[in-house]
Amino acid sequence: MRVDIQRSSIINNQRIRVSGSKSQTNRLLLLQKLYPNIHLQNISDSDDSQMMQHGLVADQEVVDIHHAGTAMRFLTAYFAMQPNRQVWLTGSSRMKERPISILVEALRQLGATIEYVEKEGFPPLKITGRKLTANQVTLNPAISSQYISALLLIAPQLENGLTLTFNGEVTSKPYIEMTLSVLSELGIPNQFVDNTVRVDYQAKVADSEIIIESDWSSASYFYSIIALAEVGTAITLSNYQERSLQGDARLVAYYRSLGVKSVFQDQCLTLIKQSESVKYFEADLRDTPDLAQTIAVTCFGLGIGCELSGLHTLKIKETDRLLALQIELTKLGAVVSIDGDGLKIEAGCSLISGVAIDTYQDHRMAMAFAPLALKTSISIKDAEVVSKSFIDFWENLQTLGFQATIVDTNPTYLK
């Protein structure tokens, strides 16, 4: 399916409901499986969370999680500590290119039995569940934080708990802190001091009713829309907290520099275009790498230069996001350079109209580029990929006033 968007303007003061945080949902789904007396509201309706739910309840020998990277990491840890259960955990062709050896080696340190079915260091995995009794793991933290969170989430059900020692600088620290905050909310003792994280064994937790906050990564696309809109334009988003567990809540500070004011009231977040942006935007996104595509496109749409660093994990996402950004922004007229783990965009580049954006089976590529329709006509190819994290995205754009036409190039997909 392709979405063609004519140059649009926004209907002011619209309200949008955003589904629950994918990051929080997937953590809590695993914990709910370990502690069934946890009850959840506002669960994410993303494909990733649906795959996570499917994997946790599946009783077959082969579990296929398709493109869901979080589910691959979290379920690897979960199945490894399920005695007398053997699972073949697999995914899409792209998933088979995403490394998982660091997590597998960490689980093996705890006593897990995991074999690579095809290529060494990559899914699919043959996991033979064991009772894990070791409780010490040392690993390099300059990796996807999901490896670390996967270990922390199963830790309270390991009879000796778990101590993780990091031998370097931690990447995406807010996501690790989110995991620990979720554990704390359930009364599970933990601590993170210097380069060591400790989670204690907890046989039971109290009955809990948890309302999952809406997804901040999804909010980023509306921040981009407001940044590119006329001064005075506003959008209100549902179920957001000023003191959030989600690392991507740093959007408030990032987009303040890009002219967007954030107002919290009655569990809602109102975004208001208040002023012009800075002339040059610079940020280290090592703790918030999922925001890189959105911020890069926003800066290009505003005609300002930017320099984004700390993006080494983007190369192992759904696609090589740094390279994909460079290719697609260049098609639009940007001058983009990649240097190691960073990306630079020159200021004042002319925006080319009518470009068709390739999405590389990456939901964030599709959603990050869509706001440019406030500046020019644009097409988004393979637009159904948004369902991975934000199934109602295109309908929400139409609600806001975007002239978005859905072209069904794959009749078997929609109905």
Catalytic residues: 290
Using CA atoms, how far apart are residues 26 and 50, in angstroms rounded to an integer?
9
- Helix 101-109 with 145-154: angle, nearest 10 deg: 30
Where does 155-291 have alpha helices with state H? Answer: 173-185, 216-228, 251-256
Where does 281-400 have alpha helices with state H? Answer: 292-302, 321-331, 363-369, 393-400
Using CA atoms, how far apart are residues 298 and 292, in angstroms rounded to an integer?
10
Using CA atoms, how far apart are residues 151 and 183, in angstroms rounded to an integer?
12
The continuous run of DSSP H or E covering 332 comes out as none
Using CA atoms, how far apart are residues 87 and 80, in angstroms rounded to an integer?
9
**CB-CB contact of 39 with 211 (8 Å):** no
Give the 3-state secondary structure of residue 117: coil
Q: Report residue 270 as tokens.
A: 């109102």
Other residues' Cβ atoms within 10 Å of the Cβ of residue 303: 14
